[in-house]
Amino acid sequence: MHNLLPNEHVVSLISLNQGAAIEMFDKALTKVLSNIADPNVDAETKRTVTLTVEFTPSKNSKRCGVVIKCEQKLAAHKAAETSVFFGKVEGELKFVEADPDQGMLFDKSETKKGMAN
């Protein structure tokens, strides 16, 4: 094996594209850990970080292109649920999250007969 020139180095995960794979993984890891710490997602859902290094050799096999990809799969946010009530105020349809029977939100005729119209 020949001696390497000063600007040459043996390829490793650390040196490949000046450490791009490590940097990509670290960013994905931060996203995964932030997702785990988020109280709005399911705590027990598995998360993944996938680091892919793709090599495309030239026809003469003297060089190859390298593509580095890093993807993370996070837990989805929990569903938020509510109820919406509706009725008419001065003939115009309105929607609220509070129960209209607890106050005078809608016209009296609407709350008594419901939404028959």
Q: From CA 98, how far away is CA 2, in angstroms rounded? A: 79
pLDDT at 8: 73
Residues 52 and 95 in one domain: no
Looking at the structure of the chain, the number of domains it has is 2
In a domain, 59, yes or no: yes
Q: From CA 93, how far away is CA 89, in angstroms rounded? A: 6
Residues 22 and 64 in one domain: yes
Which two tokens mark 106?
Answer: 């809608």
Residues 66 and 46 in one domain: yes
Domain that holds residue 111: 82-117
Residues 52 and 89 in one domain: no
pLDDT at 11: 87
Q: From CA 51, how far away is CA 54, in angstroms rounded? A: 10
Question: From first to last of its 117 residues, what are the pLDDT tens digits of the chain?
Answer: 567 667 777 889 998 999 999 999 999 999 999 999 999 999 999 999 999 999 999 999 999 999 999 999 999 999 888 888 888 888 889 888 866 565 555 556 554 555 444
Helix H segments across 38-88? none
Residues 92 and 117 in one domain: yes
Give the predicted TM-score (pTM) of the model: 0.64
In a domain, 66, yes or no: yes
pLDDT at 116: 47
- Cβ atoms of 74 and 113 closer than 8 Å: no
